[in-house]
Amino acid sequence: MSFLDHLEELRWSILKVVVGVLLAAIACSVYADFIVTTILLGPLKTAGMKAQVLSPYGIVLLYMETVLICGLILSMPNTLYWLWKFVAPGLLPKERRYISRIVFFTSLCFFSGVAFAYYILLPTALKFFATFGTDQIDLNIALDRYVSFVLAMLLGAGLVFELPMISYFLSKMGFLTPAFMRHYRRHAIVAILIISAVVTPTPDVVTQVLLAAPMMLLYEIGIFVSHVSQPSKDGEAA
């Protein structure tokens, strides 16, 4: 394929990804009330906090942002599928057979991160914030900032949980080995702490530690994934 052919293929892949996101967002809009009141605001109510709208169009923007982000999250398998379809011509025939498995496990890692953030990271962080202040201060949060906080945490955790898959691809390409990961484990721990501080949208240590702990576990899983993803090299060395 020529360079222009690759650009054309990329354009169609991006178009199909965008269509997938829009269709998922339209589907989410049918259940927008449930998504906002139960899923989005549920952790806030559990923590004993209230959200308030500070602009006349705040509710409209809330619903639009919510359905779009939900569409982005739910359409992730479709996004990954067309991404792998785009890079498939550069893969070996044997590797192309594993595209469906790669899409499945990549999606599984992403949704696991989103679930971890929603059920563990987010409630713990909100309860921690609720312990500060006095009875004379009402815990009312600006709705737009709360939504940005939640969505950043969900997407950030989803991307962080892709560490095993990143380890898989780098190992397959020969850029990463288990020995390398073990040797630089201490450096990785420092990097994980820095990444958790950047990814989490809050400055508190509790939220950062809650994200850093599974990242360290994912790093150890990545070492195992790196080992099993390059058996041919091990066999040649033996």
E strand or H helix at 142: strand 140-142
pTM: 0.78
Checking if the pLDDT of 25 tops 90, the result is: yes
Which residue ranges make up each domain of the chain? Answer: 1-112+137-143
Taking the C-alpha atoms of residue 231 and residue 106, their distance in angstroms, rounded to an integer, is 21
The C-alpha atoms of residue 179 and residue 184 are separated, in whole angstroms, by: 9
Inform me whether the pLDDT recorded for 235 exceeds 50: no
Q: State the Cα–Cα distance between residues 110 and 30, nearest whole angstrom.
A: 24
Give the helix ranges, DSSP H, for the chain: 3-30, 32-34, 42-46, 58-74, 76-87, 93-96, 99-116, 122-130, 143-160, 163-172, 178-183, 185-199, 205-228, 231-237
Task: Please tell me the predicted confidence (pLDDT) of residue 231.
Answer: 55
How many Å apart are CA 73 and CA 110, to the nearest integer? 9
Per-residue DSSP letter, 97: T
pLDDT digits (tens, 9 = 90+) for 28-73: 999 999 998 888 888 888 877 888 887 778 888 888 888 998 999 8
Q: Is there a contact between 52 and 140 (Cβ–Cβ < 8 Å)?
A: yes
